[in-house]
Amino acid sequence: MSLYALRSPLKNTFLRSIGFNKAAPTVSRYTTKTTEATAEEGQQQQQQQSATNDIASWNDYFKLRKKRRVYELVSCVPSTIAPAMGSISYFAQLEIDPFTTFFGMDPVMASALATVGAGFGGFMFGPVLGNLMFKALNSKITPAMERRDKDFYEHIKANRADARLNSIRNPVPDYYGEKIQSVADYRAWLRKQREHYRKGVFGGNTDDLDN
């Protein structure tokens, strides 16, 4: 019998005598508890961060909404001027045969319409650019802002007057709630919607419109 064969049983007996097999489960349980505690702490930190970045009240939301609208309006200026000036510069350097027509129009008229079209396209893109800038500069509150936008839209959709009641004499007041800039404005908007409904149904209800 070799020395290695004699050494293995003695080694196993020694390990069992010092409780080696009992220590392993203890370490495993300790590691599991530590992992669970770390996960709970991570969840608590995420919840605290979410609460910190949340919008406290509707008035705060309306202030941010107004600020975002300013970004959108201001962005319309460069987004309109840049393509219009680019078009003017392009057509100014372009050599045009005065006897050539573009889509049946005079070259000067065609270039003028193209310049106006470029400026109008830039103007329409301005709010998109402003919204992107607002999100980039206020990235921490962007998720909370999107949640508030969704909630606000649900309030508007649930409380606005029926579009079928719209008429020249009785138009729906601020159908999308774009003019609302505070809680007081929202309450005034609700009163206008109820008044519009009363005028539209003349004491009846919207079910009569389907008959």
- Looking at the structure, tell me whether residues 103 and 178 fall in a common domain: no
- Looking at the structure, tell me whether residues 203 and 129 fall in a common domain: no
Q: What type of residue sits at position 17?
A: S
- Looking at the structure, tell me whether residues 119 and 82 fall in a common domain: yes
The range of the structural domain enclosing residue 167 comes to 160-211
- Looking at the structure, tell me whether residues 101 and 66 fall in a common domain: yes
Domain membership of residue 205 (yes or no) is yes
Please check whether residue 86 is in contact with residue 77, taking contact to mean a CB–CB distance below 8 angstroms: no
- Looking at the structure, tell me whether residues 129 and 174 fall in a common domain: no
Domain membership of residue 75 (yes or no) is yes
Domain membership of residue 22 (yes or no) is no
Q: What average pLDDT does the segment 192-211 reach?
A: 74
- Looking at the structure, tell me whether residues 103 and 132 fall in a common domain: yes
Say which DSSP state 204 is in.
S
Overall domain count for the chain: 2
Per-residue pLDDT, 23: 46
The helix/strand/coil state of 1 is coil
Rounded to whole angstroms, the Cα distance separating 199 from 5 reads 102
Domain membership of residue 95 (yes or no) is yes
- pLDDT tens string 159-189: 999 888 888 888 989 999 999 999 999 999 9
- pLDDT tens string 21-78: 544 445 455 555 556 656 666 665 555 455 446 888 999 999 999 999 999 999 999 9
Please check whether residue 180 is in contact with residue 135, taking contact to mean a CB–CB distance below 8 angstroms: no
- Looking at the structure, tell me whether residues 112 and 166 fall in a common domain: no
Rounded to whole angstroms, the Cα distance separating 209 from 186 reads 27
- Looking at the structure, tell me whether residues 63 and 121 fall in a common domain: yes
- Looking at the structure, tell me whether residues 177 and 115 fall in a common domain: no
- Looking at the structure, tell me whether residues 90 and 61 fall in a common domain: yes
- pLDDT tens string 70-108: 999 999 999 999 999 999 999 888 887 777 777 778 888
pTM of the model: 0.65
- Looking at the structure, tell me whether residues 132 and 176 fall in a common domain: no
Per-residue pLDDT, 116: 95
Domain membership of residue 151 (yes or no) is no
